[in-house]
Each structure stands twice: as C-alpha cells, then as structure tokens.
Amino acid sequence: GLLFGFEFCFRLVIFCCLGWQEEVSRYQEKQSCRERRTQAKNLKKLVYVYLVRYAEEQQDLALLSISTFQRALKDPNQLIRASALRVLSSIRVPIIVPIMMLAIKEAATDLSPYVRKTAAHAIQKLYSLDPDQKEHLIEVIEKLLKDKSTLVAGSVVMAFEEVCPDRIDLIHKNYRKLCNLLVDVEEWGQVVIIHMLTRYARTQFVSPWREDAVFDENSEKAFYDSEEERRVDQSKPYIMDPDHRLLLRNTKPLLQSRNTAVVMAVSQLYWHLAPKHELSIITKSLVRLLRSHREVQYIVLQNIATMSIQRKGMFEPFMKSFYVRSTDATHIKTLKLEILTNLANEASISTILREFQTYVKSQDKAFAAATIQAIGCCATNISEVTDTCLNGLVLLLSNRDETVVAESVVVIKKLLQTQPSQHSDIIKHMAKLFDNITVPMARASILWLMGEYCEHVPKIAPDVLRKMAKTFTDEEDIVKLQIVNLAAKLYLTNSKQTKLLTQYILNLGKYDQNYDIRDRTRFIRQLIVPNEKSGALSKYARRILMAPKPAPVLQSAFKDRDRFQLGTLSHTLNSQASGYLELSDWPAVAPDQSVRNVEVVEPVRLPYLRLVLNCFCVHVESVSESESKENSDDSNKSSSSQSEKSSSESDSEKKKKTLKNKKLQQQKPDSKDRQKRIRSTCLRIMQHNYSLNYYLPPQIIQKTLNIMTKYILIHIVLSISTPFFVNCMCSLLHLCVFLACQFDAVSWPVHVSLQASSPVFVPETSHELLHRMTGKGLSAQYRFTRQPCIYGNSMVSLQLTLSNSTDQALENIHISEKSSTGQNIHRFNAIERLEPQASVTVSMGVDFNDSTQAANFQLCTKEDEFSVSIQPAVGELLLPITMSEADFTKEQGKLVGMNESSATITMMPENVSSQSVNRKVVSVANLGVIPSGQENIYRFAGKTVSSGSLVLVSVALKDPDAVITINTEKTVMGSMLLRQVKTALTNSGP
C-alpha cells in the first residue's frame, strides 16, 4: 500500500508537469503570433516611411510597390483606401504622376467622405510635385467644392488656396453653401475657409465703411421716410449685400469657439469686412484669449496692438486686462506696454502712469527700459502730462540701476528737443549727474544735449568739455564722437574759453585707433578752423553744426503693420512672408451678385398640401367605411347568433363572453397614449425644420404643437409615418405656426429703445475751424446743433459757416474724401461758387464713435487744400431723453460699481437754485431734465449718439456741498463729463 501511494504521487507530479509544459507552449505560441503581427505592422510602417522619404533616390524599388497601392485603392474598407492614396501621393517620383492623377480623380468621386477628404489633401502634394498638372487639378477642386460634406469642405478649400487662389470664379456658386456649412466644419478647416472668404469678400462687395451706409438685415430696398429727405440727398445710400451679411452672421457664433485660431480668424474677418460700429463684438473674445498660453497671448496681443492704434474705443473698457502680471514673460510685458500706451488719453493717463511707476521698479531690466520708453511716448502724445513725465524721468536719474538711468537719459533727450529753453534746469541737473553715469549711450546723449543747447547753459558746457578732455582716450567710440561734436559747437559759440580744449581734443582724435573718429576729427578741423586750404564750406560751419533739428516722433512700432492682414505670419514678422496674399481694395462698384445664385429645384408647397388633404380625405372615408362595415357585420352576426343560440346558450357562456370583451377593450390604446404618440410625431416633424426651431420663441413652438395635435395633421401622420411624408409636412408646419401666431396671444420679445427728445438748451457759440489767414481768405466756423443727425443715427449734427473775405469768388468748396483719423463723416454738397464777402451755412454729420478724439479732414477749394479738425466736447456726444423718476432710479440701480462716478463739491451761493443748476448742467451736456419729486435733487438723462448707451446725471444739494453722480457704461466719458460738470457748478457767472 505504501508503494502504491508513492507511485500514485509520482504519476500525479509527472502529469502536472506535463500539463504545465503544454500551457507554457500554448502561451509561447500566442506570444509569438502577437509578436509576428506587431512586427508585420512595424515593418509596414517602416516600408511606408522608406517610400515617402527615400523614393526619389531608389525609384526602381518605389515603382515595385505601386501595384500594391493600386489594389488597396479598390479595398472595401474606406480606411485602407484612404491610407493607400495618402502614401501613394507622398511618393515623390515624377514618373508616377499620371497614376497619382488617376487615383485622385477616382477618390474624388468615392462614396466615403473620408476618402474624398484624403483626395483633397493629395491635390496639394501632386501640385508641389508637378505644377504642370494645375488645370487637371482645378477640375478636381471644382468638383470637390460642390461636395456637401463638412468633412471635405476645409480640405478642398486648403487645396484651392494652394493651387489656384486667384480663381475666384470657382467660389461663386459655392459661396453660400460654405457660409452655411462653416459652423459644422472641423476647426482647422474653419480657419482656412474664413481666410479664403475674407479675400473673396474684399473683391465682391462694396466697402461698408461709408457715411450713408444702411445696415438693416431685413431690408431689401432703401427708402426715405419723407419727400423732404428725398430732396436732401438724391444719391442712393449704401445697403449691405445680403451675401455680405450672411458671411458676418454665420461667422459670429464662432467667436465662442474653443480653438484660438478660429477666434482669431473671425476677429480678423470682422476687422477687414464688418462695419465700424460692429467691431466691438470681437473685443471680449480677444480679451478672453489672453488667459491662454503665452504663445497664444503673443499673437493675440500683437493683433490687439495694431487694432488699438486705429480704434481705441474698442479696448478702453478692458484696459485692466492689459495690466502686466509678475508671471508674464518679457515679450508679453512689452506688448502690453504698447497697448496701454496706445489706449492712453486724457481721461486714463493718470491711471496708466501709476501703473508705469510700478513697472519701472521691476527686476526685469529690459521691461523697465521699455516702460521708460512708454512714458516718453505718453508724454509726446498727450501734451497735458509732458511736464509730469519729465519730472518723473528726472527723478529716475538718481536710480541705482544703470539701465534705468541710461534709458531715462535717452528719453529725456528726446523730450527736451520739443522745448529746450523751458527745461534748462533739467539739462543742468543731468550735467551734475554725468560723472555717476557709466552707460555709453546715456553719456553720449547728455553730451549731445550739452552741445545742441550750449547757449542755454553757457557756464556748464565748457566745464563738461574740460572733464571729457581728461578721459577722452578711455571713453567708448560713441562717446568720443559726441565729445568731438561738443568741442566743435563750443568752439563756434564760445571760442575764448574752449579754443585750446578743442585743439587738444582734435589732436587726440586725429590719432585714435577707430578710423571713424579719425575721419570725423579731420572733417571737423577743416570745417571750424579756417586756413589757406579751407574752402567756402568753412563759412557755413555754424549753419551746418548748429542747424535746428526737428524733434523726434515717438510712435508705436505697430503703427504701419495694418498694411498686412491680421492674424497672418507677415503681420507677426512685420515683413511679407513667402506665399502671403494681400487683401485687395474694396471695389468701387459691386460686381454682379447673380453669379452666386444657384439653381435649386425647391418643392412646390401647394401640391404637397393638396396631396396631404386628399390623403386625409381618402383616409377618413376608408376608416369610416371600414368601421361601418365592421359595425354592420358585428350587428348581423350578433343578431343571428342570438336568434339561433338563444335557447342553447347558458349563463356561464354569457359570463365568459363579457370577460372576453372587457379584455379586448383594455388592450385598445387609451386617449392619453394616443395623445403622447401624436405629440412625439409632431415634435419629430418640427425637428426637421431647423430654421423654425432656431428663430421661434419657446411659447410659439409649444402652441404650434398644440395646434398640430388638435387638427387634421394627427390623423395623417399616424397613418403614414415614412420619412418622405414627414419631410412633406413642413408646409403644413408653417401653416400651424401662422395659426399659433395669429389666434393665440403671444408676447414676442421686444427691445425697448430710448427715444431722443428735443434739446433743452442749444449753445449759440461757434468754434473756429479755419482762420481766414490760414485759408487764404476762406474762413470756417462750426457749432453743435444738438439735434438728431438726419444723415445717420450714430452721427453728431454740426452746422458749418463758410465765409469768403477775399475780393475774388471761391469755387468748388468741398470736403476731401481722405480722412486721416478714420471717422465716418457725411460731407456737405460741394459749393460751386462763393461770392466775395459772402457767407453760406451748410450742415454735416460726424460719427465720433463716443470719443473726444478730433475728426481730421481736408477742406478744399478748387486750388487749395486745408487740413482742419473738429474737437468735440464730451457733452456734445449725447442726445437728451425723457423718462419717469421711477425709471431713472431703476436704471441708476443697474449702473453702479465701476459704472458710477461721483464727486463732492462746494457750490457757489448763486448756483444753489434749481434754475441755476439746470442751466449749468444742460449748458455743459446735451441732457434732458427729469422731473423730480424730491427737493434739492436734480436729475438729467441722455444717451450717447453712437452706441446709444445710457448716461444718467444727478446733483444732490447738501448745504453747503453738493454731490454729483454720473452713471454710465462709458466710464471714460463719465469721468470726463464729471470733471466738466464740476467746473460748471463751482464757477460763478452764467
């Protein structure tokens, strides 16, 4: 028994070992199969890579694989067909171009949109390999442009841009389709299509940047309200083309895209195509992109910097978004500085300068230097803060950082060139700090100032030259050149004290190692020291060296970048890149818009309606006949059976029949289930019509469903539920919508607009536009009429008085079409002849875009042109409105926080009365007086002319003080208006 037990255990162990070996062998076989498949895939990838990269060198081996790819092009799997075409088109062997061309043509008609998309990508590869195939490829592109798949649209447009971007005629028939499909195209395809449509629109539509533009999306024709207005202007106003509006409307939702490239593409499209008053919708989207990565921020900030030069009002409400953060990179900080400098104006300069004071203390030296340059730009652009900026820069000369001191000196030098006589103390202060400054550029700038304005500092300049003579050999080359210039200028103005010093310095420079310094020294010696060999040039030495020099203009580096299309590589580099396509100018006359009309066979609605009604009638008759037959048969059967089996039927059988009838009745659908089926079917019909779902309010959709489930549609839909019939029901759907709107009381959303009232006070004072001396006898004065402008709702109405003070008549007085600032100006009709000592009054309109920026234009006669400008006061950019006291309080409660500006002043005794307060306020601003039920509280209301933003002003008298409160979304205008109201109420007199 013991031996038997050992034998059993031994056999069991052997059996287990054999089973384990079998499992191991099976596992190894599986692993080897997986490895072989993986190796095969990797080998195939390596073959593809080899063919793509080395086919040009090993063309014989590449030709052997062509048959394999040709077979794969017929594979039933769309992924294999697309992969084969992708690799085949990547083999750069010219001999297989006909094969590639044939494969692309076949793939362009493939049933799979993915394969057609790959064919579009292959077009670009074939064109780069053989440009002679362009005509054949254009035929394929024309065919693919008609494709209705959103998967193909982006790729074929990319091929169009690469092969034939000038063939605009291919886009005509597909323009509206591309606009409508744009929302559903993949993101990078959207970018390509938007850029292409931007170029297309600039060639096919008239410029919307006109004064007489009409932007009503629903209007088809322009009309005039009265005969008087028709007589005023006989010219036909601009009306935006419906296709132009279609492009703007379909790209607007893409501003909410998650892809920053799409948002940037839509922004540049609006910048180049949209009317000026619609540009504000892209501002928030661009500011939102500033939360992205620094690479995205860099591109977005560059484009904003270009926009902010021309349209400051777009980004003024978001100025805080451009404040520099400590985590920003240096190039991001520099761009934000550019934008803040461009946005600076009289109202915001104080806040911006406070920010700049913090930036100057930054540890980033390059950023601190750029900040000092920005301060100089602000001082140049805004004359009110020039002295403040100069004083601040002078304080920076005592800074420990050499970079800050050097940059401050350079900027001060540029600023002092505007008014050097008034800042001689600053030049003296810089001379005192000269020994402590070591940066060569700063030392050279101080020496240049000393030499240029040596007559203003006659005692200090010779002493500085004496110090420079001691250290001449140790100075940098740029400093040596300025020492030589300083010596020459002092020799001409103060030769008694500096003659020997000048000769010493010229002798040192004569033997300097730098040949530029040697040449400069010899030239200066021959120029200022006359001798026998000197020519006539030495007589004009003072004119040459001491000639007045124009002050430098500090301007933004992005001022001229608008010549490139925004969002392009050329705009980023500020240089035309390879492949850049310039935007064409707007055509003077719009091309024929019928080229974009596509013949579409639309379904005729009335026959469908008759068909449905006929089907309904037939259905009702058949149902009624069948029900009547069933009822008659049932009655006959029941009567005969009752007569025949009345005697034999027992009570138990009657009970069974009644139970059976109850079960059948319970199996029939009740009215609630039927109502649910009807409602779901009607909702499915409505979902087929996307336009109604998009434009109708929810209450109208709900009432339309109720009508559809109530009337005859429910019977037809329940009996015939094929997709074809559901599509045919769209005409009846429109009928039900009409019934819902007509017979049901529906409150449609209405936007209440603030209507302007007549002005309370119209100033009679006029402002000089052109003096008679400057205008060669033509003088012009303008005044604000404070009336709604008849030329445009966003324009300020002006009255212009032209006078001729000469002895001869002036002819053809008009305003030139060129405008330097870009405001929309409605020009008056040209005055053919203005007699001597005569005057004429004309009216004009200017769209200031709710900004106090001056409108510059050219006032011309037949022979001369005069540059003039109209500077509006902030109160003239408003229109008065009327409202109740309750509405005033309600709207004022909405405009709080940053939208509220207030100040406390001390009133003059003669200004405390209600008449005086009203007169003072309405004389400053064109506001309407709101009746107030509270004593010592005066309220005024108005709206901005351009944007229609509400402006509320209240004055609360609290003896002896008064609190002025201004509530408006236009914070800049609010602060400027507050300052003017304060001045008016604190001053005595009328």
For residues 611 and 900, the model is more confident at 900
Does residue 818 contact residue 863 with C-beta atoms inside 8 Å?
no
Q: Is the pLDDT of residue 899 over 80?
A: no
Distance CA 275, CA 240 (A): 9
* CA-to-CA separations, 17 to 3, 8, 20, 21, 416, in angstroms, rounded: 21, 14, 5, 6, 100
- Rounded Cα gap, residues 444 and 433, in angstroms: 13
What mean pLDDT do residues 693-714 have? Answer: 51
Query: 735 pLDDT exceeds 50?
Result: no
What's the alpha-carbon Rg for the chain, to the nearest Å? 42
Q: What's the pTM?
A: 0.54
Render pLDDT for 764-789 as a digit per residue (tens, 0 to 9).
888 898 888 888 889 999 999 888 88
Q: Is the pLDDT of residue 435 over 70?
A: yes
220 vs 661, residue with greater confidence: 661
pLDDT at position 178 is 92
Supply φ then ψ for residue 603, to 5 degrees: -65, 135
Report the run of H or E that residue 780 belongs to, with start and end: strand 778-788
- Residue 756 gets which letter from DSSP? B
Residues 122, 125, 131, 135, Cα dihedral to 10°: 10
Cα 913 from Cα 936, distance rounded (Å): 9
Average pLDDT for 412-428: 73
Per-residue pLDDT reduced to its tens digit, 209-221: 866 555 544 443 3
Single-letter amino acid code for the residue at 786 = R
Q: How far is CA 111 from CA 74, 78, 89, in A?
A: 12, 9, 20
Burial class of 553 by CB neighbour count within 10 A (0 to 12, 13 to 18, 19+): exposed
Buried b (16+ CB within 10 A) or exposed e, 288-297: ebbeeeeebb
Q: Give the Å distances, CA to CA, from 38 to 34, 72, 89, 737.
A: 6, 20, 26, 61
Side chain identity, residue 64: L
CA–CA dist 503, 489 (Å, integer): 13
Token code pair at residue 556 = 């933004």
Least confident of 90-99, 236-245, 622-631: 622-631
Predicted confidence at residue 680, as pLDDT, reads 60
- 578-637 pLDDT, tens per residue? 888 888 888 888 888 888 887 654 443 334 334 333 443 333 344 344 444 444 444 444
The rounded percent of the chain whose pLDDT value lies above 90 is: 19
Mean pLDDT, the chain, whole residue set:
77
**Alpha carbon distance 171, 598 (integer Å):** 12
Going by C-beta distance under 8 Å and a sequence separation of 6 or more, which residues neighbour residue 543?
Answer: none
Which is higher by pLDDT, 450 or 659?
A: 450
Mean pLDDT of 263-270: 93
How far is the C-alpha of 927 from the C-alpha of 949, rounded, in Å?
Answer: 13
> For 834-851, what is the mean pLDDT?
88
Helix or strand holding residue 448 (H, E): helix 440-452
Burial code (b: 16+ CB inside 10 Å, e: under 16) for 766-783 equals eeebbeeeebebbbbbbb
CA atoms within 13 A of residue 360's CA, in its CB half-sphere: 26
Q: How confident is the model at residue 192 (pLDDT cuts 50, 70, 90)?
A: very high
Please give the structure tokens belonging to residue 473.
């050999």
pLDDT at residue number 22: 57
H/E segment holding residue 233? none
264 has a pLDDT exceeding 90: yes
Average pLDDT over residues 17-39: 60
Q: Which of 31-35, 161-165, 438-442, 689-693 has the lowest mean pLDDT?
A: 689-693
pLDDT-wise least confident of 437-446, 644-653, 671-680: 644-653
Distance between CA atoms of residues 146 and 519, nearest Å: 71
Contacts of 87 (CB under 8 A, 6+ apart): 48, 51, 52, 69
**Is residue 133 pLDDT above 80, yes or no?**
yes
Residues 185 and 251 sit within 8 Å (Cβ to Cβ): no
Distance, in Å, from the CA atom of 695 to the CA atom of 17, rounded to the nearest integer, reads 77
Q: What's the pLDDT band for 1 if we cut at 50, 70, 90?
A: low
Mean pLDDT of 551-580: 82
pLDDT reading at 718 higher than 70:
no
Which pLDDT value is given to residue 582? 85
pLDDT tens-digit series, residues 451-506: 888 877 888 888 888 888 888 988 889 999 999 998 888 888 888 888 888 889 88
Handedness of CA 368, 370, 373, 377 (dihedral sign): negative
When mean pLDDT is compared over 302-306, 536-540, 614-618, the highest value belongs to 302-306
- Over range 27-53, report the average pLDDT: 65
> What's the whole-number mean pLDDT along residues 734-748?
43
- The yes-or-no verdict on residue 699 having pLDDT over 60 is no
* Nearest in space to 371 (alpha carbons), one of 399, 341, 410: 341
Separation between Cα atoms, residue 178 and residue 605, nearest integer Å: 27
Query: In the predicted model, what is the mean pLDDT of residues 851-856?
Result: 84
